[in-house]
A and B are shown apart, each in its own frame.
Chain A
């Protein structure tokens, strides 16, 4: 770790003494551009006191060249002409800092991607463009001013939105590391979709058996504050300092008094559809979502409750916990980091009319099949078919329903888990009914994970599940509601017509219906598939592009439980790494209002996409919060009084680049 010197005083008013360093980048640049000629050209430009070239500027030796020139007092501005600043800008900035020069008096000019690599067959053209880039960088650096990075404190607490398996795992890791965690969940219980599963592939662990102990761990952990039946309604602030408003929805049952005895349920006269059972079971208007729910207290669904008053009678609810006058409660908290673990929704296959979902009773989704197989589901683990409640003798699965679908209304991506869960459900059904005929209609079987291919092999060899390579084209039913399948067995190259008792559609998992609202609430992006976007698909899978906000689990894209837990742990680790530093540096590219020029028109405030501009009613000027400002430049461009200057990208700095850029005409007749 090199010492960071006391910074050389550069006021920005003295004469610039620019050092230019042309990198060969091996043959990446030097193979196309005459780097020595470029170096000599740079030396002719005004204010350039030294111009060098070197094979690899990012190497120790290359960095030394710059450092020596700064330390000797030769230069007070640095231009490196090399690769993209996204690669090495931080490297060279650190060199300047270590040598004692303000790191924002540095400019990197990209002559690799922008000159050499795009003109590999035209060295003359590449050279001309490289000259332009170097000239522009020198013009900019001449006008740069020294800037200081701001440091802000980070709150040692984290908000986790979503208490499924991802949210719970992230919460436990962070809580165990000593951070305070607010775990917000929209439904009345933690646990998420995993609570609806019966067994998990490939180990065939009972899902509840591995989930509920975690749920209890979460409930017991002193550092985790569980806020179920709650939603995040507002998020302000910035990394390390998020101000969050949480709405706690009214349970209409006092959560302190309720002992979860269940007497209210027995007496409630209203029966309605049970969303946990996906419409295949019922519940009362007063309920808990499933027996192992955490917290175990009850909730009244006011959309169905008729307030008859029966549950409120002292003979029914002894602790007197019923409260029809319950109101939502708002909680304001301050957290340092946020993890988004909001999970998924199931695709509705009724839009694919050829499969008859919603038209023919014996066509169900994979998640509905899970509930039928579940030992605490509507049929207590003895699956029957909807039309006559008899156990089907033959069942078929159709893969890729709504996934890998390039049509309008379909999802182009692969949902990743369906091949495995169909194989698992097929195997479970065979275990219960060894004589049943089970078919899986597929385009490809994706058994990519640990133990998955072995699981798939065993399903065919040991359980006799019939895998037919051919996507079902259409479904009809006969008078007894048996399902008639039309498909092509593409391997036999024949059309087939198969009659089965029940059809299970392995439907796609998709982003939550309100993902767009959550994205705009948090100012995070979504990918084209609708899921939240990671900062970099390979190297930063759990970061978002918003500092301090992380994403984990299916909220980022379809994945199975092992990958979800891995991401949850990754997000917790990233959040902890940030919070452990105690403070974070903010880049100084923010915009600044020159108050004496501001006319108070408020145009900038309306345009700021990050809500970073306030209005000082007393002075009648705009005020920019430098920590919230992301340096997008919108306000600076829009200000009719030219009263806003953006650090490092001020109009006069950009003008200087433009005026030298068009000096030499590089392209004749549009180029080739």
Chain B
């Protein structure tokens, strides 16, 4: 089968190891959109920008370069569905392109494991591929069903937008609209809510430092989303997804005295929403639970979203 687009799928950690439904939805949506996803065998943690870059920048740089070099060997652009991995791969790529001395020393280190980094293939994000490579018109042609009345609180996260000089959005980071535009292709309405572009709180090693601090960010976001009448939350980063999902449970626990009713807003990844609108079987989008496992994702039930899908789409 001849594909129109071709990428190397960089999985990272949270997508394959905690939210495999996101992996499944990306694979199936991209396949439907005629985009081939090649596996990057032996890829590691990107490494996570919040923790590992904070501990030792040279380690972060060389492991990131190794990951990109795996994609280079296969001749594909590495693509990721995670803002954190995107931040790492993109920032490392940019830095190595602008500091030739640094690139030289990184290659000296990579030579010890028989690898080489050139930097000729730009790291991309799933949303970047959808919006910039494929374009809204192309995606619209693949939409089969539209929602009649679905209010979505869109959460961009941080590292897909910033640092804006190293991102493909023309320097715009204050009031972007590209993710809202993709969401609205499905007929859903992206609602305005206070502090829409605020960080979820997970990144920068905060969640792994003190969970309560990260949870207070999430609390503020959830309060605003609820006040604006959101039916679901859409995001494009598995760490934000985790923070808004598992974090929602933590907020209901840590801050139960000040939030009133506990939160239970389903958290959905962008390709899961796109997928149902394209007519892909929800089983193939990680939306249907077919196991009895305890203590796994999703932590906030997404059945209410499935009900809406059944009501409005089919």
Interface set of A (CB-CB < 8 Å, partner B) = 353-354, 359, 408, 476
**B3 contacts chain A at the CB level, 8 A cutoff:** no
Docked pose: A354 CA to B173 CA in angstroms:
10
Quick check: B175 and A353 within 8 Å, CB to CB? yes
Among residues of B, the one whose C-beta sits closest to the C-beta of A484 is B194
The answer to the question of B99 belonging to the interface, with a C-beta cut-off of 8 Å to chain A, is no
B174 within 8 Å of A (CB atoms): yes
Residue of A nearest to B171 (CB): A408
Residue interface mask B189-224, A partner, CB < 8 A = 1: 000001100000000000000000000000000000
The residue on B at minimum CB distance from A476 is B194
- C-alpha gap A476/B175 in the complex (Å): 12
Looking at the assembled complex, report how far the CB atom of B24 sits from the nearest CB atom of chain A, in whole angstroms. 37
Docked-complex contact B171 and A354, CB < 8 angstroms: no
Q: Which residues of A contact B171 (CB under 8 A)?
A: 408
Which residue of chain A is the closest to B175 with respect to CB atoms? A353
Bound state CA distance, A118 and B175, in angstroms? 53
Closest to A474 in B: B174
A353 lies within 8 A of B174 (CB): yes
B178-195: CB near A (< 8 Å → 1, else 0) gives 000000000000000011
- Which residues on A sit within 8 Å (CB–CB) of B195? 476
Q: How large is the interface on B (under 10, 10 to 19, 20 to 34, 35 or more residues)?
A: under 10
Which A-chain residue is minimally distant from B197 (CB atoms)?
A474
A residues in contact with B175, CB < 8 Å = 353, 359
Query: Bound complex: CA of A354 vs CA of B197, how far in Å?
Result: 12
- Cα A408 to Cα B194 in complex, Å, equals 28
In whole angstroms, what is the CA distance A408 to B172 when docked?
12
User: How many angstroms from the CA of A353 to the CA of B171 in the assembled complex?
Assistant: 12
Among residues of B, the one whose C-beta sits closest to the C-beta of A478 is B194
Q: Can you name 7 A-B pairs with beta carbons within 8 Å?
A: A353-B174, A353-B175, A354-B174, A359-B175, A408-B171, A476-B194, A476-B195
How far apart sit A359 and B174, CA to CA, in the bound complex (Å)?
12
In the bound complex, residues from chain B placing their C-beta under 8 Å from that of A476 are: 194-195
Which 7 residue pairs of A and B lie closest in terms of their CB atoms, listed nearest first? A353-B174, A354-B174, A353-B175, A408-B171, A476-B194, A359-B175, A476-B195
Set of chain B residues within 8 Å of A353, measured between Cβ atoms: 174-175
A476–B174 Cα gap in the complex (Å)? 12
Residues of B within 8 A of A (CB): 171, 174-175, 194-195
Interface majority SS (helix, strand, loop, mixed), chain B? loop
A408 to B174, CA, bound (A): 15
The complex places the Cα of A408 from the Cα of B171 at a distance, in Å, of 10
B167 nearest CB across to chain A (Å): 14
| Closest chain A residue, CB of each to CB of B165 | A408
Bound Cα distance from A476 to B195, whole angstroms: 9
| A497 → chain B closest CB, angstroms | 12
With a cutoff of 8 Å between Cβ atoms, the chain A residues found around residue B174 in the complex are 353-354
Contact partners of A408 in chain B: CB under 8 A: 171
Nearest Cβ in chain B — how far from A669, in angstroms? 25
Closest to B172 in A: A353
Docked pose: A359 CA to B194 CA in angstroms: 15
Give CA–CA (A9, B171) in the complex, Å: 69
Chain A residues with CB under 8 Å of B194's CB are 476
Please give, as numbers and ranges, the residues of chain B lying within 8 Å of A354 by CB-CB distance.
174
Once bound together, how far apart are the Cα atoms of A359 and B175, in whole Å? 11
* Interface-central residue, B174, B175, B195, by most chain A CB under 10 Å: B174
Task: Tell me, rounded to whole Å, the shortest Cβ–Cβ distance linking A482 to chain B.
Answer: 14
Complex: chain B residue closest to A355, CB-CB = B174
Shortest Cβ gap from A485 to chain B (Å): 15
Chain B residue nearest to A354 (CB atoms) is B174
Minimum CB distance partner of B195 in chain A: A476
In the assembled complex, the Cα of A408 lies from the Cα of B173 at a distance in Å of 14
Q: Residues of B contacting A359 with CB < 8 Å?
A: 175
| Nearest A residue (CB) for B173 | A353
* Chain B residue, CB-CB nearest to A408: B171
In the complex, A408 Cα to B170 Cα: how many Å? 12
Min distance, Cβ A561 to any Cβ of chain B, angstroms: 36
Given the complex of chains A and B, what is the CA–CA distance between A354 and B171 in angstroms?
A: 13
Give Cα distance in the complex from A322 to B259, angstroms: 70
Q: In the bound complex, what is the Cα–Cα distance between A353 and B195 (angstroms)?
A: 14
> How many whole Å from A261's CB to the nearest CB in chain B?
50
Q: For the complex formed, measure the closest distance between the CB of A12 and the CB atoms of chain B, giving whole angstroms.
A: 55
CA distance A476 to B194 in the complex (A): 9
> Shortest distance in angstroms between B183's beta carbon and chain A's nearest beta carbon?
21
CB distance from B130 to the nearest CB of A (A): 24
CA–CA, A408 to B165, complex, Å?
10
A411 CB to closest chain B CB (Å) equals 17
In the docked arrangement, what's the CA distance between A354 and B174, Å? 7
CA A392 to CA B194, docked complex, whole Å: 24
- Chain B nearest Cβ from A499, distance in angstroms: 14
Q: How far is the CA of A432 from the CA of B171 in the complex (A)?
A: 42
Distance in angstroms between the alpha carbons of A502 and B157 in the assembled complex: 30
Q: CA separation between A354 and B195, bound complex, in Å?
A: 12
Q: Kindly report which residue of chain B lies nearest to residue A359, judged by CB atoms.
A: B175
Output the nearest chain B residue to A353 by Cβ-Cβ distance. Answer: B174
CA distance A476 to B193 in the complex (A): 12
A666 and B174 CA atoms in complex are apart in Å by: 59
Residue on A nearest B194 in the bound complex, by CB? A476
Query: Smallest distance from the beta carbon of B279 to chain A beta carbons, Å?
Result: 37
- A408–B163 CA distance with the chains assembled, in angstroms: 14
Name the distance in Å between A495's Cβ and chain B's nearest Cβ.
14
C-alpha spacing A600/B303, complex, angstroms = 86
Q: How far is the CA of A353 from the CA of B170 in the complex (A)?
A: 14
Q: Nearest chain A CB to B158's CB is how many angstroms away?
A: 15
CB distance from A567 to the nearest CB of B (A): 37
Shortest beta-carbon distance from B25 to chain A in Å: 32
A416 to B204, CA, bound (A): 39
Give the complex CA separation of A359 and B177 in angstroms: 15
In the assembled complex, how far is the CB of residue B94 from the closest CB belonging to chain A, in whole angstroms?
Answer: 16
In whole angstroms, how far apart are the Cα atoms of A359 and B192 in the complex?
Answer: 14
Determine how close the nearest CB of chain B comes to the CB of A408; give it in whole angstroms. 7
Tell me the minimal C-beta distance from B204 to chain A in angstroms: 18
Separation of A353 and B175 alpha carbons in the complex (Å): 8
Nearest CB on B from A218, distance (A): 45
Q: How far is the CB of A256 from chain B (nearest CB, A)?
A: 53
Task: Write the nearest CB–CB distance from B221 to chain A, whole angstroms.
Answer: 15
* Distance, CA A353 to CA B174, complexed state (A): 6
What is the CB-to-nearest-CB distance from B149 to chain A, in angstroms, rounded to a whole number?
23
Chain B min CB distance to A103 (Å): 53
CA distance A292 to B171 in the complex (A): 45
Min CB–CB distance B217 → chain A (angstroms): 15
Shortest Cβ distance from B177 into chain A, in angstroms? 12
